[in-house]
Amino acid sequence: DTEVTQTPKHLVMGMTNKKSLKCEQHMGHRAMYWYKQKAKKPPELMFVYSYEKLSINESVPSRFSPECPNSSLLNLHLHALQPEDSALYLCASRGAVGARGELFFGEGSRLTVL
Amino acid sequence: AQSVTQLDSHVSVSEGTPVLLRCNYSSSYSPSLFWYVQHPNKGLQLLLKYTSAATLVKGINGFEAEFKKSETSFHLTKPSAHMSDAAEYFCVVSDRVDYKLSFGAGTTVTVRA
C-alpha cells in the first residue's frame, strides 16, 4: 500500500465556519507534511510533523491549526478563513529521515472559502 | 541553502517528438533530486529520483533524467511525447539540512496532435 489518502476532496466553507482536512498513510512513514498550492504555482510548505511532533511551521496564520493524533494521521483544522485561503491543500509523507527519501502525495483537498 | 531553477515555464511539443525539461539546482550538500508530474486537480506523482547512485535515472512512462554535478543540472527527457504527458512538471531538490524540500516554479507541457 503506497497511498496517501486525503478527505474531503472538495470543501466549501464560509468565513465563520470551522472545518477539518484529514490525511492518512499506512506506509509507516514518520514525516508528514501539509502544503498549500495555488493554481499554476508550486506547492508552498505549511507544516512538517516528524515522529508526531511539529518540527516546522512556516509562519502559517493561526487560523490553520495542524494536529497529528498518531503516526498514520494528520489533520488540518480550519477556522475563520479568508477567501484568499482558497487553494488545493496537499498532504505528503516521507519515510526516510534526512535527504534521500521522496515525498508521497495525496490527491489533495480543494478548498473554497466564500 | 538549496534552490531549484526550472529554465522553461512552458514547453510545447508535437506528439511523437522528444521532450526536454531543464532544471538547474543549487545545494550546499550532496543533494537528492526528484521530478514530479501533476495533472489538473490531482496530486503530485513521482516520475523519477536521483539519490547518489547512477547518474542516469530512468523513471515511469518512458522519462529519464541525467544528474550532472559539474553543470548542477538534472534535465528531464522523453524520446517521444504522448498526449497524456500534457501536465505540470516540478523539479525538486533536497539536502541533508532538514526536512524541507525546494520546488522549482514548474514547467507546463502542452502536446499538439
pLDDT digits (tens, 9 = 90+) for B70-98: 999 999 999 999 999 999 999 999 876 66
Cell of A93: 509523507
pLDDT over 90 (residue B56): yes
Are B102 and B92 in contact by the 8 Å Cβ rule? The answer is yes
**Cα–Cα distance for residue pair B33/B23, rounded to 1 Å:** 10
CA distance B23 to chain A (A): 14
* A37 vs A32: CA distance, rounded Å: 16
Q: Rounded CA gap, A108 and A36, in Å?
A: 9
Q: Residue A69 — pLDDT band, cuts 50, 70, 90?
A: very high
Secondary structure of residue B5 in the 3-state scheme? strand
Cβ-defined contact of B99 to A50 (cutoff 8 Å): yes
Neighbours of B84 (CB within 10 A): 10
* Residue among A6, A94, A99 minimizing CB distance to B95: A99
Q: Omega of the bond prior to A83 within 30 degrees of 0, cis?
A: no
Greater confidence (A1 vs B60) lies with B60
Backbone angles phi, psi at A111, to 5 degrees: -105, 130
Task: Answer whether residue A1 shows pLDDT above 60.
Answer: no
pLDDT tens digits for range A2-52: 599 999 999 999 988 999 999 999 999 999 999 999 998 999 999 999 899
What is the pLDDT, as a whole number, of residue B96?
A: 64
Report pLDDT for B92. Answer: 96
Contacts of A81 (CB under 8 A, 6+ apart): A13, A15, A17, A63, A111, A113
Q: What is the pLDDT of residue B31?
A: 87
A97 pLDDT more than 70:
no
Q: Is A27 helix (H, G, I), strand (E, B) or coil?
A: coil
Chain-chain contact of B101 with A107 (C-beta, under 8 angstroms):
no
pLDDT digit string, tens, across residues A77-93: 999 999 999 999 999 99
Ramachandran region, residue A30 (left: φ > 0; alpha: ψ -120 to 50; beta: rest)? alpha
> Are B41 and A98 a contacting pair at CB < 8 A?
no
In percent, the amount of chain B with pLDDT more than 70 equals 97
Residues of B with CB under 8 A from a CB of A: 29-32, 34, 36, 41-46, 49, 51-52, 88, 90, 92, 94-96, 98-101, 103-106, 108
Alpha-carbon torsion angle A76, A81, A85, A86, nearest 10: 90
Averaged pLDDT, B11-38 = 94
- Confidence at residue A27, expressed as pLDDT on a 0 to 100 scale: 92
- The pLDDT of residue B34 is above 80: yes
pLDDT at A78: 96
Cα B14–chain centre separation: 19
